[in-house]
A and B are shown apart, each in its own frame.
Chain A
Amino acid sequence: MKLKLGLTVLAASLAVIGCGDKPADTKKTAEVKKDAPPPPPPSIEIKIAHVGPLTGGIAHLGKDNENGARLAIDEANAAKIKIDGKDAKFILVPEDDQADPKVGTTVAQKVVDAKVAGVVGHLNSGTSIPASDIYNKAGIPVISGSATNPKLTEQGFKVQFRVVARDDQQGPAVANYLASAAKPKLVAVIDDATAYGEGLANEVEKSLKGANIKVLPREKGTDKTTDWKAVLTKLKGRNPDAIFYGGMDATGGPMLKQARELGVKAVFSFGDGACTDEMAKLAGAAADGLLCSQAGLPPQAADKKFLEAYKKAFNVDPILYAPFTYDAANLLIEAMKKANSADPAKYLPELAKIEHSGASGKIAFDEKGDRKGAEITIFTMKGGKLEPTAIVKDGKSVSYAEFVGGGAPAAAPAKDEAKK
């Protein structure tokens, strides 16, 4: 009997541990709120939220993005910035949107209610677009370091910015490169039925058709599909020369591997969501020869100082868009410094006209909130490593070697600017 009681207690405590995550979190924010208004504050606390998927299939990319923002905030705290004459203490509010649009809006509301000064995120276009409306109503500036769907900044929201290229820049870039490199006559296009995957696939299809290349009817999976055999078998019967997939690496890797197992010979091409070094692990030898694009400069071409600091802080290398979320957080902080205020209404105008030299190069925004002159990098997978082969900027393609010009990659953006 005693044993039974003990076991029940153990089970109960297990259950408590299981859901102990959230309550602790809210308690923390509650404490922060309580601490916030002591009568004569010698310092001010500025909360910056990062929202991205921390659980689910692309949690590794979400964590990568969060790390970027966290590094920026830790550095800002170490630099002892003064805002409005007070010592600013920046606090990162990390939130998980599970890459799910529904959860995305709930979390956005939660972040707004927590009175954050600015938001870095979300990771996915599918979550960013519905959430942007909430941030816009609350007047809180939000910068995405990875959402590439054009619609995000086409809604006319003054608070919405992004530091990566748009899919209507990325799509044509990767499609044109595919057309010139592989010279396909028939291309199959697959997407994962998310705002990002479908949007990018549409752009690619448009460009391919524009180049007089035949495109098969669209095939679709979901953002959780790991079994692509049915789709690939069907495509094998049509014998396309190339296959483009709009989706993330967690689904793209198995797709590539299964295609080669089935004996599909087509050239594969992916967008930025599946353009990570993980690809070599997920697809193994099948990844060789993959063409893919990233909506910015490659992480290895980011600022050396950033790369070292990131490695030191998190003991891993950035995967994909960490340099961009790092820049996004820094942009918020920079704008607050310039406006000498953490009030969104006051620093938003500064953010709109900011000129910042970040880990991913020079950043300035156009009137829609998109990054001016954003680069797109085209990669080829060779021997398990993604090698940048070309940089597309303002619709013009330059080979990567030429772009870097033999110099240190970090100096590249500045050089490019000088050339102009």
Chain B
Amino acid sequence: MDIFVQQLINGLTLGAVYAVVALGYTMVYGIIQLINFAHGEVVMIGAMVAFTVINLLAAGGLPPLAVVLIGAACAIPVCMLVSYTVERLAYRPLRRAPRLAPLITAIGVSIILQHLAMLVWSRNVLAFPQIIPLKTFHFLGATVTGVQLTILGICAAIMCGLAALVYRTRLGRAMRATAQNPQVAGLMGVDINRVIASTFVIGAALAAVAGVMVGTYYGVAQYTMGSILGLKAFAAAVLGGIGNVPGAMVGGLLLGVVEALGAGYIGDITDLCRYGPLARAIGERCADGGHFVLFGSNYQDVFAFVVLILVLVFRPSGLLGERVGDRA
């Protein structure tokens, strides 16, 4: 039981990070139907900038929490600037081009960002200095670290804040209008370019926060870290229904939990020696407490995509997605 709770907590933390990154994908897609594949790299840049700042300040004797906050405060504007520039230079000129062109551009941008980061921060795996004292709490027999609690708290705050922004503010209304029909929204006096740019910039700020969270959680950052993280978050966004803000949150959390539980239990479930008749058929390898495991925990990354496929087969628009047909 305590192991199950522990896996659940691990999964929720991971899922919270996926959710925050997935929000960036889903917001951009919701407005201009562009899958911004460079979003994962923005997360990476956020982690890298935070690493640089935290490393500089680590010896300064400031309280650890302040150091991390300053790190995040520096990462957010940098990511916003990067994302704004990318939108302005790479996506805006292609807004009227066929859908495939900006998609390919996005992949190109992600490669460019990755290699620029390699030039700036080297190829090495960068280790965050361990400044946050390891505080653990015990909950139903499981161990929860302070960092995990902070991540969950920040994610909850971000989700509430974003929902308020989209549904309660002027900018949010403009965003929803642009998502419905950009031409008409433009005719009604909405500055579409500004709305789209703001969407990118808000997504980038979230990405920066996610980057800082991943960096401090795992303690490492590298210029390649963005691609698989981005891909998983993209899967989470599609899982929840791309273009749908609450969907991205649900999809992210679900994906994290499925991954953690899957990786934690698949080995036991597919251990053929546990099944009487099969064990006799295998014979030798099962004798004397042996094991014959079909799928190991290295299939962790596969779960995300198996779940994605299953959901799309039965609900092509995702868990919370509504509109199909004119999208995807």
Residues of A within 8 A of B (CB): 4, 7-8, 10-11, 14-15, 17-18, 54-57, 59-60, 63, 192-193, 214, 217-222, 224-227, 229-231, 233-234, 236-237, 249-250, 253-254, 257-258, 260-263, 278, 281-285
Contact = CB atoms under 8 A, between A and B. Distances in A.
A234 B293 CA distance: 15
A278 B7 contact: no
22 contacts: A7-B88, A11-B93, A54-B123, A192-B298, A218-B296, A219-B267, A220-B296, A220-B297, A224-B228, A225-B300, A231-B264, A231-B297, A233-B3, A233-B264, A234-B265, A234-B297, A236-B3, A250-B222, A278-B124, A278-B127, A282-B125, A284-B129
B174 to A, nearest CB: 24
A249 B125 contact: yes
Contacts of A253: 125, 127, 219-220
B108 A15 contact: yes
Given A218-B296, A230-B300, 12 more contacts: A15-B112, A54-B123, A63-B123, A222-B298, A222-B301, A224-B228, A229-B10, A230-B263, A233-B6, A249-B125, A253-B127, A262-B6
A234 B89 contact: no
Contacts of A60: 122-125
A154 to B, nearest CB: 24
A231 B260 CA distance: 9
Contacts of A260: 134
Contacts of B297: 219-221, 230-231, 234
A93 to B, nearest CB: 19
B85 to A, nearest CB: 10
Interface in B274-310: 289, 291, 293, 296-298, 300-301
A34 B115 CA distance: 31
Nearest 3 interchain pairs by C-beta? A59-B123, A230-B263, A220-B298
Given A7-B88, A254-B218, A57 B125 contact: yes
Contacts of A54: 123
B127 A284 contact: yes
Contacts of B93: 4, 7-8, 11
B311 interface: no
Given A15-B108, A54-B123, A217-B267, A261 B222 contact: no
Nearest to A285: B130
Contacts of A231: 263-264, 297
Nearest to A54: B123
A11 B90 CA distance: 7
Contact of B108 (A18, A214, A257, A283): A18
Contacts of B143: 261-263
Best-buried of B10, B89, B125, B143 by chain A (most CB within 10 Å) = B125
Contacts of B300: 221, 225, 227, 230
Secondary structure at the A interface, as helix, strand, loop or mixed, is: helix
Contacts of A214: 289
Interface of B: 2-3, 6-7, 10-11, 14, 88-90, 93, 108, 111-112, 115, 118, 122-125, 127, 129-130, 134, 136, 143, 145, 218-220, 222, 224-225, 228, 259-265, 267, 271, 289, 291, 293, 296-298, 300-301
Given A15-B112, A54-B123, A254-B219, A233 B267 contact: no
A383 B130 CA distance: 14
Contact of B298 (A10, A17, A193, A283): A193
B145 A261 contact: yes
Contacts of B88: 7
B219 A217 contact: no
Contacts of A281: 127
A224 B301 CA distance: 10
A261 B125 contact: no
Contacts of A230: 7, 10-11, 259-264, 297, 300
B14 A217 contact: no
Nearest to B126: A281
Contacts of B145: 261
Contact of A282 (B115, B118, B219, B289): B219
Nearest to A230: B263
B24 to A, nearest CB: 20
Contacts of B108: 15, 18
Nearest to B11: A230
B10 A233 contact: yes
Contacts of B220: 226, 250, 253-254, 282
A414 B7 CA distance: 53
A281 to B, nearest CB: 4
A222 B300 CA distance: 9
A404 B261 CA distance: 49
Nearest to A58: B125
Best-buried of A10, A54, A60, A192 by chain B (most CB within 10 Å) = A60
B67 to A, nearest CB: 15
B282 to A, nearest CB: 14
A14 B125 contact: no
Contacts of B11: 230
B89 A14 contact: yes
Contacts of B296: 218-220
Contacts of B112: 14-15, 17-18
Best-buried of B14, B89, B111 by chain A (most CB within 10 Å) = B89
A234 B6 CA distance: 9
Nearest to B225: A226
A18 B301 CA distance: 29
A291 to B, nearest CB: 20
Contacts of B6: 233, 236, 262
Given A63-B123, A221-B298, A234-B297, A227 B219 contact: no
A220 B115 CA distance: 29
